Structure 1
Amino acid sequence: MNVRSGWSLLVLAFTMAFATDARAHSGNTIDGVYTYVIERPYQGASRRVDMITADDGHRIKLDLSAASLPPEGLAGIRNRRIRVAATDTTARAEAMGISENFRVRSVQVLSDIVGFSRISAVTGNQKYISILCKFSDKPAVEPRTPAYFTTQLNNTYPGFNHFFREVSYNTLTLDGSQADVAWVTLPMTRVQYNALGAPVDYLGAMFDDCTAAANATVDFSQYFGINMMFNDKVDDTSAWGGSWFSTLDGVTRSWPVTWMPYWGDGILFGWNDHGVLAHEMSHAFGSLHSKDPSGFEYGSSWDVVSNPGGTCLVTQAGVAGYGCIGQHPVAYNKIAMGIMPAARIVTHAAGANLTAYNVERMTQPPMAGGTFQVIKAAITGTTSQFYTIESRKRVGYDQNVPGDGVIIHKVTTGNPQPAHLLSPLGTAANLGDIDALWAVGSVFISVPDNIKITVNSFSGDGTANVTVQPATDPGTFTFALAGTTVIEGNTTAAVIAVTRT
């Protein structure tokens, strides 16, 4: 509600699209704050837009590679002030002169500067405001009342304060979150916004106009994140989530943001679907997608940040409802968001001797002594790759996962979708559901990574006993029907001798 203020050079710059003036930067590098936005299309492939808001206010698209990132991947630079160096002078000139992506050779994390309030963690109480935005050609269309959106954020099932409390083991709360008191009307139609060009152009304009229209009744300095709820589609395909660097009510920082569309009451997509909103808010909290065994980023029903709502067997239907109920993120995505308590993570050192661990279910764990939530199995010679082992059971907000049991991911932090779900059946398409479970007696072996993972038991309360040890030359094995052993991607589920070649 206050007049917006901040760095003098930034006040006007936040309404600009991407930079076209190379004189604003020095040499072959750019200093500024890194943010991203990620698309959740109704169908088809996703886009992630990486950007840097330079210290002089220009916003520039980045072309990042895994080789340019720190070992933590994007988690190591998100919302941080960084210095990016171009791959060559041509790459920099193209980015600055004709709005091509700035092709990045290296990234260096810098110290913050005066006036910038950086988000250091998403734990604790983080209030959200949902602002309700109508396009100028649909001023009479208000699909739900403000009360609907306030209830959506509250601390009773399936409100998002309640959801994120469970997902984070009460390390993250949304107390005090609410919707704005009324819908506000934007100065343009949806078609006019989309005609501005690339997604970041129209998403940026929507952000500026929505927050400006709501500024009379919202003091943004009192909130952590912003949900923008529209009365129509945002574009032809998608919902979006991530963070946006701006100055609102005197606070200059990266704001966790979602752009949530309305596709009509007959289509569960956007703000009227619990899973999709949980997916986008997880992006805003710092999670990337995971991917199924085939590499498809929307194919894992074990992760709300992959296939939101999973099986969608549990819904809250009707006009007053919230659609398919979202499931928990997978373990690595919780780690990336910073909401997995450190005491619940156990690291199995690379090459360490056989060790058995008790891993409790991801959802509403009993928290028994000597148990963990996730095993992080290290790989010799790298900190940017490791395995995660977790247990899932269909209780709480995990009722829409495909089944009960153990799942395994291989994580590569520099990948666009770091957590790769592994299945006993290999890497074919459509294995991101029940086929990804590792039954009791199942064994995963990777000789190159020198790791062997065995599921020894799975109890009725969802606690799994799992051993991790170095891989040895498999030689010849005999497999029992009770489980499956996977060696370098080969599988069997019968009593049969298999010789490694």
Structure 2
Amino acid sequence: MKQRDGKVDAARWAPVRRVFLLGLACLGTSPAWAQSIEQGLLQLQWGDPPPAVPGQPRQAPQLVAYLQQDDGSRRELDVAQAHRAAGDLYALANRRVAISFASSTRVMSSAPAIEVIVPADRLTQGAPAVGADGRVMAAAPVTGTTRWVTLMCRFGDITEEQKALSFFQSQYGEAVGQLGHYWKEVSYDKINLAGSTAHGWFALPQPRSHYVTKVDGKDKADLKKLFADCGAAADPSVDFNGVQGINLMFNGELDGFAWGGSSCATLEGRNFCTRVTWNPPWSFNNLAPLAHEMGHGYGLPHSDNSDGDDDTYDNPWDVMSDSWSNAVRDATYGSRPKHINIFQRHRLSWVDSARRLVIPYGNTATRQVDLDFAHLAGSGSTQMLVLSLSPQPDPYATVVYTVEARKPEGAYEGALAGTAVIIHKVENSGTAYSIDADVPPATRSNNEGSMFKVGERWVTPDGSHAIHVDAATATGFRLTVGPSVPPRVMSSPLPPLLKPSPVPAPSLPSAAGAAAPVAPAAVPVRQELCGDARGMARGRVRCSVR
């Protein structure tokens, strides 16, 4: 182990430690230098508020994590520690893991710190869950039939039943605008909701105040208790065998959030762990937020944009971010869900390898790529272009930029902001951030800066990759992809958009008779035209090509 200033180089030691701990977990032993290694099911639960009231800030999202242990007990995990310990925490959602907790003598708090989280179910997967360095390589694939059931439950002190049973049953239909149709389309027919249905209304044994209490002056819903009691009320009449997800619908407000993720309850006489969503009326009245919560059930995290604020709901290109803006409206089911960004589709193994093209770090070749619209199910061309910034064999090990084409077309994408190439930054296989070249970035990325169109060129921050949108095609766009010439060195996290020079102001000499534009590959980029030093440091630069 190398040390720096007397401290162990944790970054170098972590991969070795992960492999070692994984082996120990499989053998059922633990090293002397760790307090304990515990195994169980990793449960993540995301809380999402309703749309903000005009003039008022929207509530921040919530994320809680638990280790559901084999004896039925549950241990809450520090989310920040879990993120650091797991690498890609989201890839482990709903999976069996082994967690190493540090000895309490090594930390200031009496609670043991999380050191490492590794998958303990790798032998049951069709492909290795970890690489040679112990890093989580991918989420478990989600394919085939994923049967959901809806349980409608009313609080003991609230009698209103907002929707009839037939409404919830029809939500799972295969017609356009229904969940069965939506999930087949967005997954490229990799999953279906066959056999999904709804039951209820069931009476909860307690009033709302029993399930929603005050914690630090704020409402807090006991999700585990809500699942347990709603499930128990339904258990005598509902067959849960083969169910892979449960949508819980409540006839009153919860704690200001709808929730999605996974949980456990006693059903069918056993400890039943599955995907679960918890929905108040404002959520189940619209398919968009309901699909958002089901996405969390499948293990998908939030997406975001690149404005740097704390609001994750400002990327209208993805239902896992802003599910409300640029949404197609349905007379029966409210806001329809738009699609999911291409990286999150890839996370669940929905993008075939023939539709992915990875441009490796250090690439020196220039090529043309036909990039088809992401919503086309029968595409024979590239739909996911990946620009790797890592020399490691796994292109997703550090930072990648994913490139996809989108178009306002169809039952779910019809209200998108425009037809364009959309770029997302993904770090350590985590959140996908849509790139915005406006200065400063827009607070919601349905702006021109987030849409890369014909004639525009974009360069990664380190200068290793450049793309130029050459032309529109019948099914997407034709791009030129290659190394940046000349190389650019930028330390900012957000890359510039290189656009043609703006039209001269009226007071300047006429541009008539100007020379024809230079081909993109020959256009020089002058660094000094990219803004002031402060803008460069923040990456908020918009360069002119001259």
Q: TM-score, normalised by structure 1?
A: 0.80
% identical equivalent positions:
27
CA shift, 1:408, in A, is: 0.2
CA positional deviation for 1:247: 5.0
Residue from 386, 390, 397 that aligns with 1:380:
390
Aligned to 1:67: 84
Q: How does 1:190-209 map to 2 (within 5 A)?
A: 190-195=208-213, 202-209=222-229
Instruction: Give yes or no for the alignment of 1:41 onto 2:56.
Output: no
Measured at CA, do residues 87 and 385 of structure 1 come closer, stay the same or move farther in structure 2, by a change above 3 Å? farther
Q: Does 1:433 align with 2:438?
A: no
Matched, 1:445 2:459: yes
1:437-482 CA deviation, whole Å, 9 max, x = no partner?
A: 01112222124262212222223x4411123222344579994459
Deviation at 1:246, TM superposition (A): 4.4
The answer to whether residue 326 in structure 2 is matched with residue 328 in structure 1 is no
- Equivalents in 2 of 1:89, 1:324: separation in Å? 49
Matches within 5 A, 1:251-290: 254-262=273-281, 269-290=282-303
Local SS of the residue matching 1:380: coil
TM-score of the superposed pair, with normalisation by structure 2: 0.74
Q: Which amino acid aligns with 1:191?
A: S
1:434 CA drift (Å):
2.8
Say whether 1:339 aligns with 2:356.
no
Q: Are the equivalent residues in 2 in contact too, given 1:62–1:103 (CA < 8 A)?
A: no
Q: Is the 1:391–1:462 contact (alpha carbons within 8 Å) kept by the matching residues of 2? A: no
How many angstroms apart in 1 are the aligned matches of 2:239 and 2:37? 36
Show the 5 A alignment for 1:205-354. Answer: 205-235=225-255, 237-249=256-268, 254-262=273-281, 269-295=282-308, 296-312=311-327, 314-317=328-331, 321-352=332-363, 353-354=365-366
Say whether residues 1:355 and 2:355 are aligned partners. no
| One-letter amino acid matched to 1:420 | Y
RMSD: 3.1
Determine the structure 2 residue equivalent to 1:54.
Answer: 69
Distance 2:459 2:100 in 1: 40
User: 1 CA distance for matches of 2:378 and 2:244?
Assistant: 31
Paired residue total: 443
Deviations 1:97-121, CA, capped at 9 Å, x for gaps: xxxxx6422112224899xxx9953
| One-letter identity of the residue aligned with 1:325 | R
Q: For 1:158-197, what aligned pairs fall within 5 Å after superposition?
A: 158-180=177-199, 182-195=200-213
Shift of 1:338: 2.8
Q: Does 1:467 align with 2:467?
A: no
**Distance (whole Å) between structure 1 residues aligned to residue 488 and residue 94 of structure 2:** 48
Q: Which deviates more from structure 2 when the two are superposed, residues 86-95 or residues 242-251?
A: 86-95
How much does 1:402 deviate? 1.4
**Partners of 2:142 and 2:92 in 1: how far apart?**
15
Q: Corresponding residue for 1:157?
A: 176
Give ranges in structure 1 of 5+ residues lacking alignment.
1-25, 97-101, 263-268
* Residue 40 of structure 1: how far off its partner (Å): 0.9
- Cα deviation for residue 195 of structure 1 reads 1.6
Tell me if structure 1 keeps the 8 A contact 2:436–2:442: no
Whether the aligned pair in 1 keeps the contact of 2:35 and 2:103 (CA below 8 Å) is no
Match of residue 8 from structure 1: none
CA displacement, residues 136-170 of structure 1 (integer Å, 9 cap, x when unaligned) = 001x3111111100101110021100001110111
Q: Distance in 1 between matches of 2:173 and 2:313?
A: 28
Structure 1 residue 250 displacement after superposition: 5.5
Structure 2 counterpart of 1:127, one-letter code:
R
Select the structure with the greater relative contact order (CA < 8 A; seq sep ≥ 6): 1
Aligned-partner Cα distance in 2 for 1:305–1:230: 22
**Is the CA contact (8 Å cut-off) linking 1:83 and 1:108 kept in structure 2?**
yes
* Superposed displacement of residue 275, structure 1: 0.9
Question: How far does residue 94 in structure 1 lie from its aligned partner after superposition?
Answer: 6.1
Between 120-129 and 45-54, the greater mean CA deviation after superposition? 120-129
2:149 equivalent to 1:132: no
Distance 2:225 2:499 in 1: 62
TM superposition shift of 1:303? 0.4
The one-letter code of the counterpart of 1:316 is D
Contact 1:293 1:426 in 2 (8 A): no
Q: Is the 8 A contact 1:275 1:326 kept in 2?
A: yes
Aligned-partner residue type, residue 233 of structure 1: E
How far off is 1:216 after superposition?
A: 1.2
**SS across alignment from 2:290:** helix
Whole-Å Cα distance in 2 between the matches of residues 232 and 93 of structure 1? 42
Q: Could you tell me whether the CA contact under 8 Å between 2:92 and 2:119 is conserved in 1? A: yes
Name the CA distance, whole Å, in 2 between partners of 1:201 and 1:93.
31
Q: Which amino acid aligns with 2:253?
A: K
Tell me the equivalent position of 2:414. Answer: 399
Q: What is the CA-CA distance between 1:413 and the residue it aligns to?
A: 2.9
Say whether residues 1:77 and 2:92 are aligned partners: yes
1:390 to 393, 396, 404: 404
Aligned mates of 1:112, 1:444 — CA distance in 2: 39
